[in-house]
Structure 1
Amino acid sequence: MRRLSAFYDRLILPHPLIVLVVFGLLLAVSALKFGQFRLDASAESLVLENDRSLEEYRQVNRRFTTSDDFLVVTYTPEDELFTEAGLSQLRRLRDELQALDAVGSTNSILNVPLLHSPDLTLDTVDSEIKTLDGNDVSPETARAALLDNPLYPNLLISEDAKTTAIQVNLPTPERYFDLLRKRDTLRDKATSGSATEAELADLEQAREEFIRYTATLGKERDATIREVRDILQRYRNNAEIHLGGVPMIVADMIRFIENDLSTFGFGVLAFLLITLAIIFRQWRWVLVPLLCCGFTVWLMVGLLGWAKWPVTVISSNFISLLLIMTLSLTIHLIVRYREFQHDEPEAKPGTILRQTVMAMIKPCFYMAITTIVAFGSLTFSGIRPVIDFGWMMTLGLTVAFLITFVIFPALLALLPPPRDRKVASDKVPFTDGFARFTEQHGKVVLSGSVVIAALCAVGINKLTVENSFIDYFKSSTEIHQGMITIDDRLGGTTPLDVVITDDKPPESAGIESDPFASSCDPFLDECDGEEEYRDTWYTYQKMRKLEEVHQYLDSLPETGKVLSINTTLDILARINQGEPLDALELAFVPAAVPDDLRDILLTPYISEEYDQARFTIRILETIPDLRRQALLDRIHKHLTTELGYDKDQVLFAGMTVMYNNMLQSLFDSQIKTIGVVFLAIMIMFLLLFRSLKLALIGMAPNLLAAGSVLGLMGWLGIPLDMMTITVAAITVGIAVDDTIHYIHRFKVEFSKDANYIATMHRCHRSIGQAMFYTSLTIISGFSILVLSNFIPTIYFGLFTGFAMFMALVGALTLLPRLIILMKPFS
């Protein structure tokens, strides 16, 4: 402490202006990279560490020439759709969308093949196909043809023909995939340890190039979506129009988070300002804490920009948390400063400031280091965004502590506050009431804590890890309404691919790919066994098995539109006068389909190069009891047990799989994280307090606070998701702060008279005030988050407030009651 005291006496307190000037230069350097600060809600931000789902997803899209990079415009006109006027209006909308620079193409009922001609056969399919764009087809004929085609209903047109969809394709440039492959190849070498120095330098360059290009691509896509919305707005007078699609979901999530960071960031600051003004009644006690909070956020935003470290949906609340932690530190300093002013009214401001810093730096350091441990435990998670969030908060808390104990005293040295005479009469009935209640009703405190702990245990057992994208947005938002429309009328929202790989015979079996090498002719007969080993998918036996898969997937209540090669075969059967194709006709399906229809009817479902068949499914996000993992398990079990496919033959891919993998890891991650948190904090308490009894006492309110938040979520049926996973760690960090400050102050006060009851009352009137002010300020500030359109942000605000309340109650009742009961101080 002598060296620390000398540091303040020589550098900080005598030269506050120089300190602030040097710090101002640091802020200026930090601000240079504000433009590099960015949000990332891409598929990579939802992927688990070492999870191959993203690569498998991209691989499936490449093999089957498909992509989810498209917007869906739902169009329900007020008047009849299938009239000349109705189709003309739709055509004008489609043409405006297609004219946008970033739009590669569009698909709608206007340009898809109708397959309605009476002269259409398998032999004339190339010449007799007609479209609304290219041929003179009456609206009623087109309506009947579209509804009669198994491909279009619940995809491009609703079953009642009142709603249609325009698919606006936004192709990802090949340069993106080139940069991605280059980065991943170099990263794999670096991970395996085989990369040379030159390759490591190339990796750093590839990362920066990929980040720059991704940021540019993201801005272009956001601009395109804004242009699409501007076009749609002009047509809304005569139609109900909604926008959907994965790119729009990503863009809206980023937009909501950015709005929350700016709008609610200022709103939180305003609430904090008002609360601080009401509590302390001096402008210095409003300005100085807000400056410290602002400087912390400023530096962290700049540091993330310099490091080119993107903020994800999960870590987007780190700014709010830094405000909490920085404000908590400054309020404790303010309360202690005012106490010294009251106790020593004749002391000089510099003396009081020095006493405050020396008295509070030790408990605040303990608080900061244990909170860093709590957030650092998130790095043990298997989820990359959660790991990044843990590191961000670790760095942010370090910055907050340094700013509080460097800039706070420098500012007060320049702006010494006058003595507040009202401090002498300051009594906080809230904390005094807790002290009296704890003294008089100790058994009630203990028994009540046991009851709450039991309720928490039951609630935690009710926790689930399922959630839908639609649950992230208020019902009044366009994205929510669009998802409902797509689910109800156009076959589902979230994509899921089921890919089946052909089972090849061992080379030693000597079975040739020549269909005539077998005694069974697969073109004419329904062969068993041998026929399955042929290279082509277009055989009777294989198509019959694929049809069984299709029918099963289509029968599930969670699935909307299901498409596969069997959809194509149904279309061809209708062309073939309603007769199913025989074995010989199946063999010639690839030749019968015209080249301009292959990308619609064949390549999205069959990859003969990789011997794979693909089923594309749309999951209904609006089903209340949607359970993704149970659905995937049920599908996998049916395919492997009932239909006889090997486990290695079945692959799930798509956004549904990646999101589900992250969700399913949350519960294990939460248990692992909480376990590491409490183990680390227990060790920290042992080091800080040097008493096993005191460490155990300190753990009790922390366990109760974290358990209360998780238990409440379980009782309310609020699932763990990519945002609420952090609530428990946040709660522990907050509860640890109160616990450390209270125990440290209790130890100091106890040395005066060795009276536990009297010490408790003094602590409630001193450090209890600081804890009460901190909790009140933060609860009131974060209450504004309930106005957000992003549901996870609302949950964050509500549970942060609840966590502060439970931490305060535990530290003012259970903690002192246990101290009085166990008497850990000699």
Structure 2
Amino acid sequence: MNRLGAFYDRFILPHPWIVLALFALLLALTALRFDQFRLDASAESLVLENDRSLEQYRQVNQTFTTSDDFLVVTYTPNEPLFTTEGLSRLRALRDDLQALEAVGSTNSILNVPLLHSPDLTLDTVDSEIKTLDEHDIAPQTARQALLDNPMYPNLLLSEDAGTTAIQVNLPTPDRYFDLLNQRNELREKVNRGEASEAERTQLEQTSDEFIRYTEQLGEERDATINQVRAILEQYRDHASIHLGGVPMIVADMIRFIENDLSTFGFGVLAFLLLTLAIIFRQWRWVVVPLLCCGFTVWLMVGFLGWAQWPVTVISSNFISLLLIMTLSLTIHLIVRYREFQHDEPEAAPNNILRNTLMTMIRPCFYMAITTIVAFGSLTFSGIRPVIDFGWMMTLGLTVAFLITFLIFPALLSLLPPPIDQRVSSDKVPFTDAFARFTERFSGTVLVSSGVIAVLCVIGLNRLTVENSFIDYFKSSTEIHQGMVTIDDRLGGTTPLDVVITDQPAPANANTDPFASDCDPFVEDCGDEEYRDTWYTYQKMRQLGEVHDYLHSLPETGKVLSIQTTLDLLAQVNGGEPLDALELAFVPAAVPDDLQDILLTPYISEEQDKARFSIRILETMPDLRRQELLDDIRHHLSTELGYDRDRILLSGMTVMYNNMLQSLFDSQIKTIGVVFGAILVMFLILFRSVKLALVGMAPNLIAAGSVLGLMGWLGIPLDMMTITVAAITVGIAVDDTIHYIHRFKTEFAKDGDYLATMHRCHRSIGQAMFYTSLTIIAGFSILVLSNFIPTIYFGLFTGFAMFMALLGALTLLPRLIILVRPFNAR
């Protein structure tokens, strides 16, 4: 401590202008890359570390020439749709959308093939297929033809024909996939240790280029979505219109987060400013803490820009948390400074400041270290954005501590505050009421804590991870309304692909269809016969069974597969199912311009794979994704006879479910690491097993209370609330360390536990109360967000602060008095 005091005496306190000038240069340097600070809500930002689901998803899309890169416009006209005027309005809307530069194509009831001609057969399908765009078809005839088609109802047209959809395709340029594949190949080489120095340099260059190109595509897509919205506004007078689709959801999530970072960021600062002004009533005690908070955020944003380290949906709240932690540090310094002013009113301001720094740097350092441990535990999670969040907070807390003990004293040296007469009054602070309650109702404190602990355990057992993506958004948002419309009327929201690989023929199998007595073209030859094609009676019958099973599930909406195409061709065939010979010639019978609609999305002859495209009903109250996926795998393997290694489940549903299901394991692992590490830290800091265990109690209650409350309220763990427990522990640890450190200091004066408790509540208790009050007030503004996870974050952060304060002012002192870990001198 002598060396530290000498450092302040020699460098910081005598030369505040030099310190601030050097710091200003650092701020200017980091500001150069503010424009590189970015948000990432892509699929890569929400997957597990080393999760192959994203790569499998991309491979499936490439194999079957499909993509989720499209917008969905739901259109429910005020007047009947199938009239000349109604179809004309729809066509005008479609044409305006298709005219946009970024739009590759559109699909709607206007351009899909109709099956209504009496002359239509398998032989004439190429010449008799008609569309509303190219042929003069009566609206009611088109309506019936679309509803009779097994492919369009519940997809492009609702079953009552009152709502239709326009699929606006936004093709991703080939350059994106070229850069992606090149980066992944180089990354795998590096991970295997096989990359040369040149390849490592190339990986860095390719990664930078991929990031820049992704940002460019994101900006272009945002502009396109804004153009689409502007077009839709022109047609809302005649119809109820909603916009949906994965690109729109990603764009709106980023918009919500940016809005929360800017609008609510300034709102939180305003609330903090107001609360600080009410508590301390001196402009220095408002400006200095806010400058320290602002500088911390400034440096971190600049660093993330320099490092090209994107902020994800999960880590977007790191700014709010840095405000919490930095403010907590500065408030503790302010309260201690004011106490020294009261005790030594004639002392020079720099001496008071030095005493404050020397007194508080040790507990604040302990606080910062243990909080870093709490957030550092998130790096043990298997979820990439949670890991990034842990590292960001670890670095941010380090910056916050350094700024607090370098910039705070420099600013205060230039702006020494006058003595606050309210501090020197004999009025007992409000926090002493907690001390009196703890002294008088000691049994009540212990019993209540035990009851809370039991309720926490029960609530933890009720905690789930199954939630619907739609629940992230308020019902007033376009995302929510669009999902509801698509789910209710157009066959479901979230995509799920079931891919089955064909059974390979044995080495001794005869692949000649005419080499046996059984002719597979005209009869069912059973599993013992193999042909190098999917279009046999046996295989199509099996795929039909899979289709029927998937369609029967209550969680699924629209199911598309080769069976849908066969049903369509059977309808063309006069309503008779295709026989084995007709099945064999299906690829030849389907016109070339319909192959990409009817065949290639469902059958890949080159890779021997069949695909079932499913839409999951996100609005289903009892949706259980993991249970659904397990049931599908079990039924296909046990009931329908497919080997498990031939079954692949892919798509957004799988990736999102993988992340959700990892939350339980991640949460348990994270909490275990947190408490284990903090217990070790307490043992090192306090050098007492008794005191370490006593210090753990309020932390356990605070973390358990938040998770238990979520369980009791039925709020599931999701990609945001997973961090709440670690945040709670970090907050509760701050109060615990400060209180125990002060208790130890005060106890040495007279060796009286009760008197020491009262003195601590009147001193450090005030700082803890002010910190909690300021943060609770500041973060209450987050309830106005449109992003439900942000609302939960604000509410649970406030609740965490309340429980941490309550535990530190009641349970903690009661346990100290009960255990008596200090020896009177």
Give the structure 1 partner of residue 408 of structure 2.
Answer: 408
- SS of 1:376's equivalent? helix
Give the structure 1 partner of residue 14 of structure 2.
Answer: 14
Shift of 1:426: 6.7
Q: Residues 220-239 of structure 1, C-alpha deviation per residue, up to 9 Å, x if partnerless? A: 00110000000001110110
Matched, 1:775 2:772: yes
Q: Residues 22-79 of structure 1, C-alpha deviation per residue, up to 9 Å, x if partnerless? A: 1011000000000100000000011101110000000000000000000000000101
Matched, 1:521 2:538: no
- SS of 1:422's equivalent? coil
Q: Residues 286-320 of structure 1, C-alpha deviation per residue, up to 9 Å, x if partnerless? A: 00000000000000000000000000001000000
Q: In structure 2, give the amino acid aligned to 1:116.
A: H
- SS of 2:464's equivalent? coil
Give the structure 2 partner of residue 789 of structure 1.
Answer: 786
Kept in 1, the 8 Å contact 2:429–2:766? The answer is no
Q: Distance in 1 between matches of 2:276 and 2:398?
A: 24
Evaluate the alpha carbon distance shift between residue 478 and residue 428 of structure 1 in structure 2; reply closer, same or farther with a 3 A threshold: farther
| Pairing partner for 2:592 from 591, 595, 611 | 595
Give the structure 2 partner of residue 293 of structure 1.
Answer: 293
Q: In structure 2, give the amino acid aligned to 1:683.
A: V
Kept in 1, the 8 Å contact 2:66–2:601? The answer is yes
Evaluate the alpha carbon distance shift between residue 589 and residue 31 of structure 1 in structure 2; reply closer, same or farther with a 3 A threshold: same
Q: Residues 163-218 of structure 1, C-alpha deviation per residue, up to 9 Å, x if partnerless? A: 00000000000000000000000000111111111110011001100000000000
Structure 1 residues 337-352: aligned runs within 5 Å? 337-352=337-352
| Pairing partner for 2:745 from 744, 748, 756 | 748
Q: Distance in 2 between matches of 1:428 and 1:253?
A: 48
Q: Residues 465-524 of structure 1, C-alpha deviation per residue, up to 9 Å, x if partnerless? A: 1111110000011110000000000000000000011111332xx113221223311011
Q: Residues 298-345 of structure 1, C-alpha deviation per residue, up to 9 Å, x if partnerless? A: 000000000000000010000000000000000000000000000001
Q: In structure 2, give the amino acid aligned to 1:717.
A: G
Q: In structure 1, give the amino acid aligned to 2:640.
A: L
Shift of 1:427: 4.5
Matched, 1:268 2:268: yes
Q: In structure 2, give the amino acid aligned to 1:671.
A: I
- SS of 1:168's equivalent? strand
| Pairing partner for 1:636 from 625, 633, 638 | 633
Gaps of 5+ in 2: none
Matched, 1:459 2:459: yes
Shift of 1:525: 1.4
Shift of 1:424: 1.9
Shift of 1:385: 0.4
Q: Distance in 1 between matches of 2:361 and 2:100?
A: 59
Matched, 1:801 2:798: yes
Kept in 2, the 8 Å contact 1:518–1:530? The answer is no
Matched, 1:682 2:679: yes
Q: Distance in 2 between matches of 1:514 and 1:528?
A: 15
Shift of 1:429: 4.9
Q: Distance in 1 between matches of 2:514 and 2:686?
A: 84
Kept in 2, the 8 Å contact 1:428–1:769? The answer is no
Q: Distance in 1 between matches of 2:53 and 2:675?
A: 32
What TM-score, normalized to structure 2? 0.99
Give the structure 1 partner of residue 662 of structure 2.
Answer: 665
Q: Residues 327-366 of structure 1, C-alpha deviation per residue, up to 9 Å, x if partnerless? A: 0000000000000000001001011000001100000000
Give the structure 1 partner of residue 710 of structure 2.
Answer: 713
Give the structure 2 partner of residue 127 of structure 1.
Answer: 127
Kept in 2, the 8 Å contact 1:256–1:790? The answer is yes
Kept in 2, the 8 Å contact 1:427–1:765? The answer is no
Q: In structure 2, give the amino acid aligned to 1:618.
A: R
Give the structure 1 partner of residue 33 of structure 2.
Answer: 33
Gaps of 5+ in 1: none
Shift of 1:441: 1.0
Matched, 1:369 2:366: no
Shift of 1:425: 2.5
Structure 1 residues 209-220: aligned runs within 5 Å? 209-220=209-220
Q: In structure 1, give the amino acid aligned to 2:424.
A: A
Structure 1 residues 321-720: aligned runs within 5 Å? 321-425=321-425, 427=427, 429-507=429-507, 510-531=508-529, 533-720=530-717
Q: Residues 704-728 of structure 1, C-alpha deviation per residue, up to 9 Å, x if partnerless? A: 0000000000000000000000000
Q: Distance in 2 between matches of 1:782 and 1:638?
A: 48
Q: Distance in 2 between matches of 1:736 and 1:38?
A: 32
What TM-score, normalized to structure 1? 0.99
Q: Distance in 2 between matches of 1:466 and 1:303?
A: 36
Q: In structure 2, give the amino acid aligned to 1:781.
A: G
Q: How many residues align?
A: 823
Q: In structure 1, give the amino acid aligned to 2:515.
A: A
Q: Distance in 2 between matches of 1:769 and 1:359?
A: 16
Q: Distance in 2 between matches of 1:529 and 1:339?
A: 87
Shift of 1:596: 0.2
Give the structure 2 partner of residue 240 of structure 1.
Answer: 240
Q: Residues 799-824 of structure 1, C-alpha deviation per residue, up to 9 Å, x if partnerless? A: 00000000000000110001000000
- SS of 2:71's equivalent? strand
Shift of 1:673: 0.1
Shift of 1:264: 0.3
Kept in 1, the 8 Å contact 2:429–2:762? The answer is no
Q: Residues 213-270 of structure 1, C-alpha deviation per residue, up to 9 Å, x if partnerless? A: 0000001001100000000011101100000001111111100000000000000000
Shift of 1:753: 0.3
Q: Residues 386-413 of structure 1, C-alpha deviation per residue, up to 9 Å, x if partnerless? A: 0000000000000000000000000000
Q: In structure 1, give the amino acid aligned to 2:249.
A: I
Q: Distance in 2 between matches of 1:359 and 1:797?
A: 32
- The list of structure 1 runs, each at least 4 consecutive aligned residues, that deviate by more than 2 angstroms after superposition, is 425-430
Q: Residues 500-558 of structure 1, C-alpha deviation per residue, up to 9 Å, x if partnerless? A: 11111332xx1132212233110111111223x22110011111111111011111110
CA RMSD across the alignment: 0.7
